[in-house]
Structure 1
């Protein structure tokens, strides 16, 4: 009896020890993640300061003949950032045009494969290509409209056309996917009633689909090099989805012909649900951006840090709003200055702070409001909406 009790107590002790080790592991992991976030935040603070300093140095470079090497490096860094952004925009335009041409060619090939095979899975892939072609045209038109600015009709530009275009594409993809699901369900019903057409998945069809997969994978790998650009990131996601869906449709069509007929319409339904899910998620993300969703707390802290470090004459940071203005952010900052400060001095502080905030690549536009009091409620200055 005593031996059993001792064995039980040892087992209990081991369990408690294991539980403590697991808790310590979770605790250490939490501490590690915390410090990792802190380090990332400090790195972002440093990068923001360098970005702002480089921007200011570049503005006054014409008046400075003898620049220090460190200043030159900061200027060069900012110029490199501008060149990199321009390079990404050119790459996005080039890849969009290439994708447009490739999707048109693949659409023709898939139409042939659909006619030859009669497979619902391959038809779903063909419809996906048709919608891809449509989405490429929409993105191309929207990018062209964004570049052609009219300062009278659109004083702040038309950058929000891009997320609008992506939402429109999401709606088109969703409608096409739902229609394919209905058609596939009808094909299952026809087979149960013995009125469905037979499948004819030949080697020509297999060759077309495999060529599509290889082409899309190559485009995906190219897009991965420029994935920091939002448009290219969407293209990369689209190419990746096409690789997965085309492989799945080919497999389901092949199995439907050789093993079990129902695999073909079931595969079409699964592919359609996958496409529907990915594009609903994309549409939701960009809809939130257009609706003015707030930025992440980490980025708001970065904006606050810019305001705190800007000028010692700023006594308080009263209110800070950072929210989406399309793909980028709009910033509203209320700063408190001495009420006896001359207007010229207060204006120069606010304007230079606004310029510094707008020099950050994530910011589309910034507005700085000066005040002499910070005890009032923020809603007192604007109507509730």
Structure 2
């Protein structure tokens, strides 16, 4: 990647940070309106047709209104500035909401599984005007796909784990609606009712997988670990290498909080430097790190004399970063 491309990416990131709340509100409102309309029509059609599958799908879609509301609340809270009670800022609210969303998704999977098993036990059931179920499930598939792509794109742009989680939940809904579609096709063509609950059981497994994965990832984040930290460590090394008088960046530790990152690190400088000179260098390194990646919110740098030997706590240096994360 050339210098002009990197500068363009940084300017884009800064612009997205400034417009983050507006983008989140717009995406959440669109999600609530679309899901509200879909849920209403699914439940209405379930009442007039007697379809258990589309009723379950409608209830599942209704929970998406709650998830969209939660992501909106999370974005509002996370964009608040730091205060006396929250000196590190409010960004962790997004991680908390993502954790809640993972539980909502797991619960939805349980409901889908329970309804499917009940349908298998009960046996055959009659559906009036089955073509209505066919059309609403087909509409739901395409609508949910559009919402998934839109919310996932917004989540990536604003670095929101809760939005990405909500998008993955939309993707689950595509599978749910598709299972209803397949089931009603078999009902119309072959008068087979047991295919619908059987497919729903398979879909519930996919839903569980996504929910459990998100639950584990947010747990890692609470514990100070995250999959995308390799890029942040590389950004730190990239910034420190621009200074000829800065040596041996080590004991580097990065903590993710929502969509921002906090960095602690040690550097070595010439022992003949004055305290003021060493402090100025540390300030320059901090500014450069934040310049390389605008999502790095705070950097704490401990300055040591060149060749310093002492027993220190755990942290990463250039060698261990390359070993753990490769050349990210």
Q: By the TM > 0.5 criterion, same fold?
A: yes
2:184 — aligned with what?
Answer: 253
Q: 1:200 aligns with which of 115, 128, 134?
A: 128
Distance 1:81 1:170, change over 3 A: closer
Residues 249, 267 of structure 2: 8 Å contact kept: yes
State TM-score, norm by structure 1: 0.70
Which entry has the higher C-alpha Rg, 1 or 2?
1
Q: Write the mapping of 1:117-136 to structure 2, written as runs, cut at 5 A.
A: 117-136=49-68
1:228 — aligned with what?
Answer: 157
Residues 212, 246 of structure 1: 8 Å contact kept: yes
1:282 — aligned with what?
Answer: 214
Which runs of no fewer than 5 residues in structure 1 stay unpaired?
1-42, 52-73
Q: Secondary structure at the match of 2:241?
A: helix
State TM-score, norm by structure 2: 0.81
Residues 21, 76 of structure 2: 8 Å contact kept: no
Distance 1:224 1:298, change over 3 A: closer
1:21 — aligned with what?
Answer: none
Cα distance in 1 between the residues matched to 2:248 and 2:88: 29
Cα distance in 2 between the residues matched to 1:210 and 1:165: 30
Cα distance in 1 between the residues matched to 2:19 and 2:86: 25
1:244 — aligned with what?
Answer: 175
1:375 — aligned with what?
Answer: 309
Residues 167, 282 of structure 1: 8 Å contact kept: yes
Residues 148, 170 of structure 2: 8 Å contact kept: yes
Q: Write the mapping of 1:257-272 to structure 2, written as runs, cut at 5 A.
A: 258-272=190-204
1:25 — aligned with what?
Answer: none
Q: CA deviation at 1:221?
A: 4.8
Residues 170, 282 of structure 1: 8 Å contact kept: yes
Distance 1:288 1:117, change over 3 A: farther
Residues 16, 158 of structure 2: 8 Å contact kept: no
2:297 — aligned with what?
Answer: 364
Residues 95, 257 of structure 2: 8 Å contact kept: no
2:284 — aligned with what?
Answer: 352
Q: Secondary structure at the match of 1:369?
A: strand
Q: Write the mapping of 1:1-385 to structure 2, written as runs, cut at 5 A.
A: 43=1, 46=3, 51=7, 79=11, 81-87=13-19, 89-149=21-81, 151-191=83-123, 197-200=125-128, 202-223=130-151, 226=154, 227-231=156-160, 233-256=164-187, 258-293=190-225, 296-297=229-230, 299-310=232-243, 312-359=244-291, 360-372=293-305, 374-379=308-313
Distance 1:323 1:141, change over 3 A: closer
Distance 1:229 1:238, change over 3 A: farther
Residues 120, 265 of structure 1: 8 Å contact kept: no
Distance 1:221 1:298, change over 3 A: closer
Which runs of no fewer than 5 residues in structure 2 stay unpaired?
316-328
Cα distance in 1 between the residues matched to 2:35 and 2:147: 11
Q: CA deviation at 1:139?
A: 0.9
Superposition RMSD in Å: 2.9
